[in-house]
Amino acid sequence: MKKIILLAFVVLNSNAFTQKFDGLALTPPMGWNSWNTFQVNISEDLVKGIADNMVASGMKDAGYTYIVLDDGWMTMQRDSVTGNLIPDPKKFPHGMKALVDYVHSKGLKFGLYNCAGTKTCAGYPGTRGYEYQDARFYASLNIDYLKFDWCYTDGQNAKESYTTMSKALKAAGKPIVFSLCEWGSNKAWEWAANVGELWRTTGDIYNCFEGQKDMGNWKANCVLHIIDLNEPLRGYAGPGHWNDPDMLEVGNGMNVNEDRVHFSMWCMMAAPLIAGNDIRKMTADTKAILTNKDAIAVDQDALGVQGWRYASKDSVETWFKPLSNGDWALCFLNRSAQPQKINFDWKNENVSDTLSNRQLNAAATTYKIMNVWTKENSSTTAKPFTTTVPSHDVVMLRLTKQ
């Protein structure tokens, strides 16, 4: 009898640690990450400045919550006695816990980075073999988000490595959003819904609009290329488990219209919105894009359904995304170098989404149309929608039942 009871305890206890925390990231996470602009050139003053500006710029009010320090926050060696990671005392003279507390005092949340391998991508100590110890360390710092990369992982199995870290976070007892950053190489969308809250579906992004950027021994992805890679995976996304097409490059060098495409399509794809620009000195255009609450509302919609490419003609794509309360989002994306005219007759279109079991039947129901970017709301689906989409731009609409 004792053996049976003991076995039952082991099974139950094991099952307890195979489940991630409940209730995290029920909408795609929103925040800021240091890597795209600063790489390893990070500091206490930088993070405080970002936190202050997150509040002052209106980004916090728009929904941005997490400040995530990427690679380079620790020293090159672990503590020789405890084995713990050591926050770089030159970059963070008051220690990491004090910085976490500062960010929390602003009503924001804090995240850190590490790697499933023996080293991080920049050569700092990785987590391989230290999963439970590092998870306890993160819990002691009271962080809220962990981005977990995939460098220096020769011989490792991705599912096993990420599952081990997920169990370690659960065992440490502090609810922490777990971001799997293995670049889509191991198809995490097929196995990670119970491991983390978001997983990368592609290689790294670059601030370019179409194609790829040659980085020497690897290629970074431009916005349109990432969209094409991420779109077929919509069936795997939903509340608490999101496809992550990588961080935002808005404000990092593309044209304003291309930034608008980038942001709109990430919202249509229910993607995490993790800004990667220097928000301390962003332009008015960049701020307007990043804080457009109507676009963000599409991304953060509680239904949690990723949009899809409904049609493509003459380099113009038509995307739909079902929303709560019977609403819909629609985005016309012009991938071409020329303006393109649109004439969309609602009553002749059969918009049916088998994933969400939703239909947009404009012949039976009239919807009010709001332009997400211009804020115009004078038309309805009672008559065809006509417009011109500029080159490398979007027209994004929200449809609401009258």
Active-site residues, by number, are 149, 204
Dihedral over alpha carbons 314, 252, 28, 288 (to 10 degrees): -80
CA-wise closest residue to 305 among 261, 269, 331, 359: 269
Query: Where does 195-255 have alpha helices with state H?
Result: 223-230
**Residue 401, helix vs strand vs coil:** strand
| Whole-angstrom distance, CA of residue 344 vs CA of residue 360 | 14
- CB-CB neighbours of 395 under 10 Å: 22
Determine the Cα–Cα distance for residues 71 and 84; give it in Å rounded to an integer: 16
| CA atoms of 29 and 337, how far apart (whole Å) | 33
Amino acid letter for position 277: N
Residue with tokens 């198809």: 187
Round to whole Å and give the CA distance between 183 and 15: 28
Q: Cβ-count burial of 346 within 10 angstroms (0-12 exposed, 13-18 middle, 19+ buried)?
A: buried
Q: How far apart are CA 64 and CA 58, in angstroms?
A: 9
| DSSP 8-state secondary structure symbol assigned to residue 260 | H
What DSSP state is assigned to residue 171? H
Please tell me whether residue 87 adopts helix, strand or coil conformation: strand
CA distances from 93 to 75, 97, 142 (A): 13, 11, 18
